[in-house]
Amino acid sequence: MDINRLETARLFHRFGFGPRPGEFVNAVNAGVSATREKLFANSGTDLGLMNVPQLVVTDLGKRPSPDDPQLASYTSELRRQNTELTTWWLDRMALADFSLQEKATWFWHGHWATSIKKLNFALPMYKQHQTLQKYALGNFNEMVTAMLDDGALQFWLDGQENTAKSPNENLARELMELFTLGVGRYSEADVKELSRALTGIQVARSSGEVTFKKNRFDNGTKSILGVSQNFDRTSAGKFLVSQPDSKRFITERFWFRYMSSQFPLPEETEFEGAFESREIRELLLALASSDAMRDTRYELVKSPVEWFIAVCRALSVTPSKLTKNSALLNYLEKLAQVPFDPPNVGGWPTDDAWLSSASAQFRASFASWLIAQGDISPIENLTPGERVQKTADLLGVVEWSARTKSALEGNTKNSKRLILLAICSPEYLVSA
Binding stretches for other proteins (CB under 8 A): 262, 296-297, 299-301, 330, 334, 351-352, 355-362, 364-365, 368, 401-404, 406-407, 410-411, 417, 420-421, 424-427, 429-430, 432
In terms of CB distance, is 357 or 383 closer to other proteins? Answer: 357
The minimum distance between CB 183 and other proteins, in angstroms, equals: 25
The minimum distance between CB 259 and other proteins, in angstroms, equals: 13
In terms of CB distance, is 7 or 91 closer to other proteins? Answer: 7
A 10 A CB-CB count for 350 gives: 16
Burial of residue 76, with CB atoms counted within 10 A of its CB: 0-12 exposed, 13-18 middle, 19 or more buried: exposed
- Rounded to a whole number, what is the distance in angstroms from the first to the last CA of the chain? 10
In terms of CB distance, is 170 or 411 closer to other proteins? Answer: 411
Closest CA to 320 of 36, 15, 121, 51: 51
In terms of CB distance, is 277 or 368 closer to other proteins? Answer: 368
Pairing of strands 430-431, 300-301: antiparallel
Q: Is 203 helix (H, G, I), strand (E, B) or coil?
A: strand
The minimum distance between CB 161 and other proteins, in angstroms, equals: 26
What is the spatial distance between Cα 114 and Cα 152, in angstroms, rounded to a whole number?
7
In terms of CB distance, is 85 or 407 closer to other proteins? Answer: 407
The minimum distance between CB 351 and other proteins, in angstroms, equals: 6
The minimum distance between CB 417 and other proteins, in angstroms, equals: 7
Q: Is the dihedral angle over the CA atoms 369, 375, 378, 381 positive or is it negative? A: positive
Contact 350, 303 (CB under 8 A): yes
Closest CA to 429 of 300, 292, 265, 313: 300
The length of the chain is: 432
What is the spatial distance between Cα 345 and Cα 115, in angstroms, rounded to a whole number?
8
In terms of CB distance, is 140 or 428 closer to other proteins? Answer: 428
